[in-house]
């Protein structure tokens, strides 16, 4: 007998086709009746409305860190909704947001211990930008309003976060964006800096030059991801973040780590910035803080900065959101972080990192379409090209075809749900839930292998390789 849930699942495809707006979807994807409709998740796997099983190779959107189907997280949400569904953090507090803030502060090093909650990664970055400006105002430097971020970085969709975003395709429809944002080179091509010291890296020199050109007295904030996702899964070279810190200190600029993907175990540490030796003033987070069982974002700010603002004539951080620190979301964050800690998930990621990497390196050896494997922890990308032994790259239209059709279809046949990203170099993204064990990773390798066989076949046909 069909249950109420079965009936709802069966109706979803038609209802979506009629009524549901699709995010970042081309007209064909928006109207595609064959779009994926997922109805259930367990561990690292998802089931669609046709009963087919998929390995969740992207942890949703880099967010289901603890894996799907956790009854303890669901129970935490339910218990909190019953006890107190809503109270604000507008000059008031409640137990779950207080506990979540204390827990997150206890995980963050040094004086990074004031936690300000919002609802998403975009809002978290928006908060960091606004805090930096008001902090500088409070210190008698109201001209410091500019924000520096890196080319191809994704920092969100709200207009401040989008202005920091460096992806031309996302920016262009909304130009002109806010004028006081400046984009600087990322670390693409400099993962191995060889003999070049961090201080001499051209991508770092360009940042210092940009600050000087803008006028250091006008620059408020520099924001970057520990490992930059879009643009090629860019692991910074040795000492890169230490040099960023030195540059920021030299010119009085605040330094923010966008930990929205990299945080909560993704790189094998509580925070991605720890992995790369960074010492940020502000850390933004979202996604993995609740393993996506409820929406939550936020920032952690160094206490002296908060005190500096509050003790000044400015005295108020003029920013907030109705649902910031929502009791249900923050109760879920506490349950999620507790589970990540008790199950030693960051340690598990570090233990399996070499196995993950070795499996991908082996795939790269077998497939000439894999130009490079990049990443850390449980965040990897395979950079793709027609043939890594030649300098040939995919043309822009081939890249769209490879990422938008060839690989998507091949992965779907293999039972793998993940992203082939054509926003920078063509990348196959692999970021499974952090609870994936060797068996799941082996399953992932088999699926990627079969998708790459199809890609190699397509390349051979269209390039005569």
Ligand X SMILES: Cc1ncc(COP(=O)(O)O)c(C=O)c1O
Contact positions toward ligand X, by CB under 6 A?
Answer: 61, 120-122, 125, 154-156, 225, 229, 258, 260-261, 286, 297
Give min distance, CB of 254 to ligand X, in A: 17
Distance CA 266, CA 346 (A): 7
| Residue 294 structure tokens | 């409820």
Q: Which residue is nearest to ligand X (CB)?
A: 121
Give min distance, CB of 288 to ligand X, in A: 11
Give min distance, CB of 282 to ligand X, in A: 13
User: Three-state SS across 173-228?
Assistant: HHCCCCCCEEEECCCCCCCCCCCCCHHHCHHHHHHHHHHHHHCHHHEEEEEECCCE
115 has which bridge partners?
300
Distance CA 137, CA 402 (A): 48
Cβ–Cβ contacts within 10 Å for residue 132, how many?
A: 27
Give min distance, CB of 222 to ligand X, in A: 15
Give min distance, CB of 225 to ligand X, in A: 5
Helix ranges (H only) for 93-251 are 95-107, 121-138, 159-164, 168-171, 202-214, 240-251
CB nearer to ligand X: pick between 96 and 121:
121
- Whether residue 64 contacts residue 291, with contact meaning beta carbons closer than 8 Å, is answered with yes
Give min distance, CB of 293 to ligand X, in A: 14
CB nearer to ligand X: pick between 331 and 379:
379
Burial code (b: 16+ CB inside 10 Å, e: under 16) for 77-109 equals: beebeeeeeeebbeeeebebbebbbebbeebbe
CB nearer to ligand X: pick between 167 and 193:
167
At residue 57, the 3 state secondary structure works out as: coil
Give min distance, CB of 23 to ligand X, in A: 9
Strand order in the sheet with 53-56: 38-42, 45-48, 53-56, 416-417
The alpha carbon dihedral of 239, 245, 249, 253 has a sign of positive
Distance CA 320, CA 452 (A): 46
At residue 167, the 3 state secondary structure works out as: coil
CB nearer to ligand X: pick between 55 and 162:
162
CB nearer to ligand X: pick between 156 and 381:
156
The alpha carbon dihedral of 326, 332, 337, 340 has a sign of negative
CB nearer to ligand X: pick between 158 and 412:
158
CB nearer to ligand X: pick between 283 and 364:
283
Give min distance, CB of 197 to ligand X, in A: 28
| Residue 118 structure tokens | 């919002």
CB nearer to ligand X: pick between 273 and 394:
273
Give min distance, CB of 93 to ligand X, in A: 24
CB nearer to ligand X: pick between 144 and 155:
155
CB nearer to ligand X: pick between 138 and 257:
257
Give min distance, CB of 155 to ligand X, in A: 5
User: Within 13 Å and on the Cβ side, how many CA atoms surround 336?
Assistant: 34
Give min distance, CB of 268 to ligand X, in A: 17
| Residue 252 structure tokens | 């009085």
- Whether residue 327 contacts residue 80, with contact meaning beta carbons closer than 8 Å, is answered with yes
At residue 53, the 3 state secondary structure works out as: strand
Distance CA 192, CA 237 (A): 6
Helix ranges (H only) for 24-149 are 27-31, 59-62, 71-83, 95-107, 121-138
CB nearer to ligand X: pick between 301 and 455:
301
DSSP 300: E
């Amino acid at each position: 007998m069909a249950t109420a849930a079965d009936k709802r699942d069966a109706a979803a495809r038609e209802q979506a086709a009629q009524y549901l707006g699709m995010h970042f979807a081309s007209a064909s994807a928006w109207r595609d009746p064959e779009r994926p409709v997922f109805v259930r998740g367990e561990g690292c796997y998802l089931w669609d409305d046709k009963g087919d099983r998929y390995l969740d190779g992207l942890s949703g959107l880099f967010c289901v860190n603890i894996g799907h189907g956790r009854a303890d997280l669901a129970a935490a949400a339910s218990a909190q909704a019953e006890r107190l569904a809503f109270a604000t953090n507008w000059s008031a507090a409640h137990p779950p947001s207080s506990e979540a803030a204390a827990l997150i502060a206890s995980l963050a090093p040094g004086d990074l211990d004031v936690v300000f909650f919002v609802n998403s990664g975009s809002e978290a970055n928006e908060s960091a930008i606004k805090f930096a400006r008001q902090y500088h105002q409070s210190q008698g430097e109201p001209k410091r309003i500019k924000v520096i971020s890196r080319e191809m970085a994704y920092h969100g969709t709200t207009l401040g976060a989008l202005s920091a975003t460096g992806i031309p395709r996302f920016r262009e429809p909304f130009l002109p964006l806010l004028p006081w944002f400046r984009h600087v080179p990322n670390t693409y091509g400099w993962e191995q800096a060889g003999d070049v010291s961090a201080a001499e890296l051209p991508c770092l020199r360009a940042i210092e030059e940009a600050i000087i050109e803008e006028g250091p007295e006008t620059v408020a904030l520099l924001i970057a991801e520990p490992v930059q996702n879009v643009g090629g899964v860019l692991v910074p070279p040795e000492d890169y973040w230490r040099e960023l810190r030195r540059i920021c200190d030299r010119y009085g600029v605040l330094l923010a780590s966008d930990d929205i993907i990299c945080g909560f175990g993704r790189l094998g540490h509580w925070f991605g910035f720890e992995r790369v030796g960074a010492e940020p003033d502000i850390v933004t987070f979202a996604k993995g803080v609740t393993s996506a069982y409820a929406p939550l974002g936020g920032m952690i700010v160094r206490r002296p900065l908060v005190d500096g603002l509050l003790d000044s004539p400015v005295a108020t951080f003029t920013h907030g959101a109705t649902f910031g620190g929502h009791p249900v979301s923050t109760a879920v964050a506490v349950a999620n972080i507790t589970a990540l800690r008790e199950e030693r998930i960051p340690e598990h990621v570090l233990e399996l990192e070499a196995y993950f990497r070795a499996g991908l390196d082996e795939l790269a050896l077998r497939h000439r379409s894999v130009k490079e494997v990049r990443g850390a922890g449980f965040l990897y990308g395979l950079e793709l090209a027609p043939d890594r032994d030649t300098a040939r790259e995919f043309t822009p239209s081939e890249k769209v075809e490879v990422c938008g059709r060839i690989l998507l279809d091949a992965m779907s046949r293999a039972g793998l749900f993940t992203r082939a990203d054509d926003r920078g170099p063509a990348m196959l993204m692999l970021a499974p839930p952090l609870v994936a064990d060797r068996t799941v990773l082996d399953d992932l390798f088999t699926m990627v292998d079969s998708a790459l066989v199809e890609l190699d076949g397509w390349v051979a046909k269209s390039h005569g390789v």
